[in-house]
Amino acid sequence: MRIYVDFDDVLCETARHLSELARDMFGRQVAYEDISDFNLRQAFSLSASEIGELMGHAHSVEFLSDIAPAPDGVETVRALTGQGHDVVVVTGRPASSHAGSRAWLRKHGLGHLEMLHVDKYGRTAPDRDPAHPRTLGVKEFASLWFDVAIEDAPAALDILEPRRECAVIVYDRPWNRKYRISENMRRAESWHEIQKIIGGLGASKPASRDPGR
Please report, in tens digits, the pLDDT of each residue of the chain (213 residues total).
999 999 999 999 999 999 999 999 999 999 999 998 888 888 899 999 999 999 999 999 999 999 999 999 999 999 999 999 999 999 999 999 999 999 999 999 999 999 999 999 887 666 678 888 999 999 999 999 999 999 999 999 999 999 999 999 999 999 999 999 999 999 999 999 999 999 998 744 444 544 443
SS3 content of the chain, % helix, strand, coil (to 5): 40, 15, 45
Amino acid at position 5, single letter: V
Specify the pLDDT at position 123.
73
Cα separation values, 172 from 14, 57, 157, 196, Å: 14, 26, 12, 15
Query: pTM for the complete prediction?
Result: 0.90
Q: How far apart are alpha carbons 26 and 54 in whole angstroms?
A: 9
Specify the pLDDT at position 65.
93
Dihedral angle at the C-alpha atoms of 120, 124, 130, 131, nearest 10 degrees? -70
In sign, the C-alpha dihedral spanning 95, 101, 105, 111 is positive
Element (H, E) at 73: helix 73-82
Q: How far apart are alpha carbons 207 and 86 in whole angstroms?
A: 5
CB 94 within 8 A of CB 117: yes
Pairing of strands 148-151, 2-5: parallel
Among 75, 127, 104, smallest CA distance to 7 is for: 104
Specify the pLDDT at position 18.
94
Specify the pLDDT at position 131.
84
Specify the pLDDT at position 125.
66
